[in-house]
Amino acid sequence: MLTQTEGSHAVAEAVARCRPEVICAYPISPQTHIVEGLGSMVKSGALANCEFINVESEFAAMSVAIGASAAGARAYTATASQGLLFMAEAVFNAAGLGLPIVMTVANRAIGAPINIWNDHTDAMSQRDCGWIQLFAEDNQEALDLHIQAFRLGEELSLPVMVCMDGFILTHAYERVDIPEQAQVDAYLPRYEPRQVLDPAEPVSIGAMVGPEAFMEVRYLAHAKQMQALELIPGYAEEFRAVFGRNSGGLLHPYRMEDADTVVVALGSVLGTVKDTVDEMRDKGARIGVLGITCFRPWPHAAVRAALAGAKRVVVLEKSLAVGLGGIVSSNVHNSLAAPETPVHTVIAGLGGRTITRASLHKAFGRAISGKLEALSFLDLDRAAVDRVLVREREVRRSGPIAEAVLRDMGAPGARIG
Amino acid sequence: MAFQPVKFYQTGTFTVGNRLLPDAERSVQANMRRTNSLNSGHRACQGCGEALGARYAIDTAMHATNNQMVAANATGCLEVFSTPYPETSWQIPWIHSLFGNTAAVATGIAAALRVKGRTDVRVVAQGGDGGTTDIGFGCLSGMFERNDDVLYICYDNEAYMNTGVQRSSATPAAARTATTPAVGPEPGNTFGQGKNLPAIAIAHGIPYVATASVAELRDLEAKVRRAMEFRGARYIHICVPCPLGWGHAPHDTIRIARLAKETGIFPVYEVEYGEVVSVSKIRHPVPVEEYLRPQKRFAHLFSPEPHKAVLAQVQAMADHNIRKFNLLEERAR
């Protein structure tokens, strides 16, 4: 059913149609509207056969999901930012135990300085934890990826993180097609756990494993993620057959034919990137876009093939590996058939900084003309940075950094956009 | 010969008098059909109080639930010695997730069972004092506050034994641990309020809270059985001496546990809906010195000569417990 609704509400409706049995929730912006929606559906009875548990922390949220999943229930939770970090130990644990929990991450920056706005630092911090990580481009895809996530996770017995940009998607009202229950039932089979805490067939889950077998257990986790690479395109295809639209898959290539410059990005910024590329194409630039939908497992072969014709690659990423530069770009670089192909890392949109078409035009234009640095920061206020650096050289007690930057900027709110 | 009622505890020996009882009244451990939930062959140290306590507690819970039970276990000695891959001592469905999340994992299991209509299957969570009073405290408090249908059992050996005897918030005042060494002007652990978890559990208003001891195994069984008669959050805190960490002979585990109770240092009591419903009376009152002296972790209190002021402080804490719980047996005047 087509409806104009908030991204969080769309996701809540999708999750509800997946018939979750245990949902645990701890509030953190910008994830709150999703679990509020689900909570009210459980409370009203609209979502039957489901336990909604208000827990005391994100660490508990993931732990309750672990217990529920190990006892054979379809388990779901949602978090963001500091919450994802606070549950990190349990996030790794869920993957290590092979429990197919689905979790929405409403992507948000990590403090300090505390910041509630969107970037990808939270999800990127957990990229190697063993979860499958899918990134939604828009609200329709966010909705759709949750349905695919349960299917994929339960088939492989692996947890799946569906990442959607905080506020930009979670709080945006867009037209979405909310599927019928019958469609979801046709696509998503009943959860048949591979391991379950059952008094009729007692097993020990979570034994201590020493050097004699730890490598093998870890390798199996990797092998399962490799299986996911094979399953994901087929599940997207099946999804199209049942729901009648393209969603998910490994990559979203756009105007890649004859492109010698390719922009790689994840999430909602792809919309702005595509608009920019359209305008540049109109002026004759041979530029295309490669959207990464599946970030973990990393679709190595697919990225390699997609970038085979590129003369240069611009990776636009909403996270910063402090002391290195780009995270996504490091992955992209590994997948290039011709390693000498220039890869430009553009760090953008940290802490919700607006990414404008004007700025992208400049960056992509500089890339085409060979002037873009290997690592650059979109719309960085260099003068503000320099003022702090100068003060630190001159004054020992230079004070807290964030406050110094803000004081120098005057009224920063007026500058957003 | 005059009629003589059967006694469980025979004066002086404390032998459990199962053979004198009808079958139905015998202990779970004496039952031929006991489940051996924590089976033999595990790797606990000789004289491990935790292994003994867990064996009795879990077998009793199994008995009380007609073997329809799932257990969640915190990281710690109990987890490590019972499940070294590829072996497991557990004859029950059992999960270990992390050190600090056991109560929450148990909540999740209970929720899954409820949604699947399997309310006949009950959930027990268990951990040591570190996993309970320190790192797992947040999840435990949350589980209590929501009154989730979980029995949480804490095996309290008063320090982080698995990692090499470091202080926990359950470590008693003046005790020597690897992180509260017996050096300096005030050797051993500092004197503070301690973290009295049974009292904190009671403050959550949950249906059932009890303390128990491996020195009183019949009482321990009775409390686990009673706990399983309630729905909602329940908590049992068991005193389990650790020969390695406390520095006593392995064959003295039960004797030391008994001294903890008889001195008043570890009060054994039972609380239902916030009301104390039973206390284990002290049968033979003894000064705390008799409890402290056989343990190497307190050796610095007696060498080169007794630290009278510190001993008096510990005695005062025991006396406080005796008064608070009215632990002394009332004698005919």
pLDDT at residue number B194:
82
- Asked if B100's CB is within 8 angstroms of A207's CB, the reply is no
Whole-complex ipTM: 0.95
Q: Is residue B34 part of a domain?
A: yes
Statement to judge: residues A187 and A320 lie in one domain: no
pLDDT digits (tens, 9 = 90+) for B117-159: 999 999 999 999 999 999 999 999 999 999 999 999 999 999 9
Statement to judge: residues A82 and A220 lie in one domain: yes
pLDDT at residue number B24:
73
Cβ pair B62, B35 in contact under 8 A = yes
Following DSSP, what letter does each residue of B242-299 receive, concatenated? -IIIII--GGGHHHHHHHHHHTTSS--EEEETTEEEEE--BSS---HHHHHTT-GGGG
CATH number at residue A235: 3.40.50.970
Statement to judge: residues A220 and A314 lie in one domain: no
Partner B contacted by A198 (CB < 8 A): yes
Q: Which residues of B touch A (CB under 8 A)?
A: 67-70, 72-73, 79-80, 83-86, 88, 90-98, 100-101, 104-116, 121, 138-139, 141-142, 145-146
Q: Which of A42, A53, A101, A197 to mutate: most B Cβ within 10 Å?
A: A197
Sign of CA dihedral B269, B272, B276, B277: negative
Of A243, A259, A280, at which residue does a domain stop?
A: A243
CB atoms within 10 A of CB B223: 26
Statement to judge: residues A148 and A260 lie in one domain: no
**How close A147 gets to chain B, by Cα (Å)?**
21
Partner B contacted by A139 (CB < 8 A): no
Identify the closest residue of chain B to A201 by CA–CA distance: B93
Statement to judge: residues A297 and A196 lie in one domain: no
Statement to judge: residues A269 and A228 lie in one domain: no
Statement to judge: residues A222 and A367 lie in one domain: no
pLDDT at residue number B14:
46
- Full domain range(s) for residue B300: 29-325
Of A209, A243, A277, at which residue does a domain stop?
A: A243
Statement to judge: residues A47 and A169 lie in one domain: yes
pLDDT along chain A (417 residues), means of 10: 97 98 97 98 98 98 98 98 98 98 98 96 98 98 98 98 98 97 98 97 95 95 97 98 97 97 98 98 98 98 97 98 97 96 98 98 98 98 94 92 80 54
CATH number at residue A281: 3.40.50.920
Q: Is residue B6 part of a domain?
A: no
The pTM assigned to this predicted structure is: 0.95
Which of A59, A201, A209 faces B101 most closely, judged by CB atoms?
Answer: A59
B73 sits in which H/E element: strand B69-73
Nearest to B150 by CA among B190, B188, B103, B197: B103
- Residues on chain B touching A201 (C-beta within 8 angstroms): 93
CB pairs under 8 A between A and B: 159
Partner B contacted by A47 (CB < 8 A): no
With tokens 């990776």, the residue in question is A315
- Residues on chain B touching A206 (C-beta within 8 angstroms): 73, 83, 95-97
Q: Which parts of chain B register pLDDT below 50?
A: 12-14
Distance, CA of B89 to CA of B53 (rounded, Å): 15
What count of residues does chain A have?
A: 417
Token pair listed for B215: 């020195």
Statement to judge: residues A61 and A182 lie in one domain: yes
pLDDT at residue number B170:
97
Of A218, A243, A268, at which residue does a domain stop?
A: A243
Cα B243–chain centre separation: 15
pLDDT at residue number B33:
84
CATH number at residue B117: 3.40.50.970
- Residues on chain B touching A69 (C-beta within 8 angstroms): 108, 112
Cβ pair A315, A326 in contact under 8 A = yes
- Asked if B116's CB is within 8 angstroms of A70's CB, the reply is no
- Full domain range(s) for residue A398: 382-415
Statement to judge: residues A154 and A23 lie in one domain: yes
Q: Which of A47, A53, A64 to mutate: most B Cβ within 10 Å?
A: A64
Q: Is residue B236 part of a domain?
A: yes
Token pair listed for B202: 């009671």
Which of A21, A57, A209 faces B115 most closely, judged by CB atoms?
Answer: A21
Number of domains in chain B: 1
- Asked if A199's CB is within 8 angstroms of B92's CB, the reply is yes
Number of domains in chain A: 3
Q: Which amino acid is at A156?
A: L
pLDDT at residue number A241:
98
Statement to judge: residues A163 and A88 lie in one domain: yes
pLDDT at residue number B3:
65
pLDDT digits (tens, 9 = 90+) for B80-114: 999 988 899 999 999 999 999 999 999 999 999 99
Cβ pair B297, B175 in contact under 8 A = yes
Statement to judge: residues A190 and A304 lie in one domain: no
